[in-house]
Amino acid sequence: MGCLYDVGRYKSRFKSKLAHSDDIKECLLGKDYDEEMVDDLLDEHIFDYLYVPDTQTETRSYICFDIRVPRVPNDYIKNMELIIYVFAHKDKMKYTKTGYIGNRCDSLADMIDTAIANAPATDFGIGSLRLSSIDIYQVGTKYYGRVMKYTCSDFYKK
């Protein structure tokens, strides 16, 4: 398989990690979501590319992510970067949940970091994903959030 096979594989695995986190599902869908249809419901909130919402009738929260390969230092290793955008409508920014402190985006970012930390080390690259930076992120005038970057090294080809 090609060296970029991992790009799709990382996306698939990361989305699965999000979909299996009860805290993230509750934060995105509310408390009374239908567990049986959760995958379909999450399709409206989680995107594996940088989704910019058009005019919305509902005020929602979003998680968008993508993969970069910023550097290939040699023939055996490639550097992988997972970029995650977490943003929510400003009307829905207030959020409280036991175990988390901050607004909805703060909590959601913390939940994502927990999901990544709980992932087996074999899921992403050699070793595990390492948080490299967190920044603020603004979409238009109504959405606000964070952008998080995780890095790891992986074998160039498998």
Site residues (CB under 8 A) for another protein? 8-9, 12-13, 15-16, 19-20, 34-40, 121-122, 126-128, 153
Minimum separation from the CB atom of position 155 to another protein (A): 9
- Smaller CB distance to another protein: residue 83 or 119? 119
CB of 39 to another protein, least distance (A): 4
Query: Nearest-CA neighbor of 148 among 67, 83, 68?
Result: 83
To another protein, the closest distance from the beta carbon of 1 in angstroms equals 11
Q: Closest approach of Cβ 140 to another protein, in Å?
A: 28
* The two structure tokens encoding residue 93: 């920014």
Q: Considering beta carbons, is residue 41 or 109 the nearer one to another protein? A: 41
- Whose Cβ is closer to another protein: residue 62's or residue 144's? 62
CA 153 to CA 136: how far, in whole Å? Answer: 25
CA 3 to CA 1: how far, in whole Å?
A: 7
Angle, CA 30 vertex, CA 25 and CA 35 arms, to 5°: 55
Nearer to another protein, 9 or 60 (CB): 9
Q: Are strands 126-139 and 77-89 parallel, antiparallel or unpaired?
A: unpaired
Task: Provide the residue type at 131 as one letter.
Answer: L
